[in-house]
Amino acid sequence: MRRKILSALLCALAAAVLFSGCGTGRVRFGTSGSGGAYGEIANAIVENSEGLRFNIRETAGSAANVRLLSEGYLDLAIAQADVVSDAYCGTGTFAGSKSYQGYAAVAGLYTEACQIITSADSDIKEIDDLEGKTVSIGEAESGTEQNAVQILGAYGLNKSFLSEVNLNYEDASEQLKSGKIDAFFCTLAPNSPFLWELAEEYDIRLLSLSENAARRLVDAYGFYTDYTIPKGTYPNQTEDVRTVGVKALLLASEKADPGTVRAVAESLFENSEAINSATSAELDLDPESAAAGAPIPFHQGAAEYYRSRGIAAE
């Protein structure tokens, strides 16, 4: 009997240690609004992480996630690398406000494409044509909002030249179809189900960035890369689309137990095939790629996992 009681106490102690820093005993995982891939990725990680308990929390997106991680309301989250760097360093859109820290990198996941959508029968053929139009720049506190502001800025456009509204992707698509807005920005994996279904039921046009604008963005910001969405990615898309991309990162609160974070990393990479097949994004779940290029330090638990694979990630 004493052995059974001691065993039960040890198990309870192990569970308490595993989830220390995770508040309710569940790993609070921040995703994004509807229409994006972050929720798909989080659910796939949850489904393939035995022994861990999660609480998925839908948020406004990247900027909200780093703030919520910093303030202790989340344990894990996904966010764009550009937003992470600006929030962590107090630069870019976070300049002049407090920096948000208290979190660390777990893995680079994949590259998202900045996409600008309008109706195929619209007179909007290029981004300059957005002047005087009503445009959704994404939800407030989303990575899309930051990308939209920077892309418009590369063309000398701001809220003085167009009417900006903050909508999630689903609301933006409905308002585009009803004529309430003229275009919307979204930062998503190409061929996301949300955009593919929109293109299938409604004729859309994707706007290309000019070569000069793309170069200005890549040169001015450290986390944009040149990106081409090949023709045929969406129904009735007959031309390649030039844009820029930014990497999505899995993050963890610095207070999250290293054993928990290491277990998440192990689940991510050891179940990479199952996780990839459950998401619309083409995740790059090679540990060496995932450990490269993060703009902030790696979490102790993630670094321990990478070291076990002979990979440096500090």
Question: What is the tally of structural domains in the chain?
Answer: 2
Residues with Cβ within 8 Å of residue 84, at least 6 apart in sequence:
62, 66, 105, 249, 251, 295, 296
pLDDT score of 1: 40
pTM of the model: 0.85
- Clarify whether residues 134 and 208 are in a common domain: yes
Residue 301 inside a domain? The answer is: yes
- Clarify whether residues 185 and 261 are in a common domain: no
Residue 313 inside a domain? The answer is: no
Instruction: Answer whether residue 225 shows pLDDT above 50.
Output: yes
Which of 299, 305, 269, 301 shows the shortest CA–CA distance to 44? 269
**Range(s) of the domain holding residue 154:** 113-246
Final residue before a domain boundary, out of 231, 246, 261: 246
- Clarify whether residues 239 and 252 are in a common domain: no
- Clarify whether residues 252 and 266 are in a common domain: yes
Instruction: Answer whether residue 21 shows pLDDT above 60.
Output: no
Mean pLDDT calculated for residue range 193-209: 95
pLDDT score of 40: 93
- Clarify whether residues 253 and 105 are in a common domain: yes
Helical spans, DSSP H, in the chain: 2-18, 38-47, 62-70, 81-89, 143-154, 169-177, 193-201, 211-220, 258-270, 272-277, 287-290, 300-308
- Clarify whether residues 133 and 235 are in a common domain: yes
Final residue before a domain boundary, out of 246, 269, 287: 246
| CATH number, domain containing residue 272 | 3.40.190.10
The answer to which of 107-116, 130-139, 219-228, 257-266 has the lowest mean pLDDT is 219-228
- Clarify whether residues 283 and 224 are in a common domain: no
pLDDT tens per residue, range 247-275: 999 999 999 999 999 999 999 999 999 99
Chain centroid to CA 12: 35
Cα dihedral 8, 13, 14, 19 sign: positive
Three-state DSSP class for 271?
coil
Q: Would you place residue 18 in the very low, low, confident or very high pLDDT band (cuts 50, 70, 90)?
A: very low
Residue 52 inside a domain? The answer is: yes
| Token reading at 305 | 């996992």
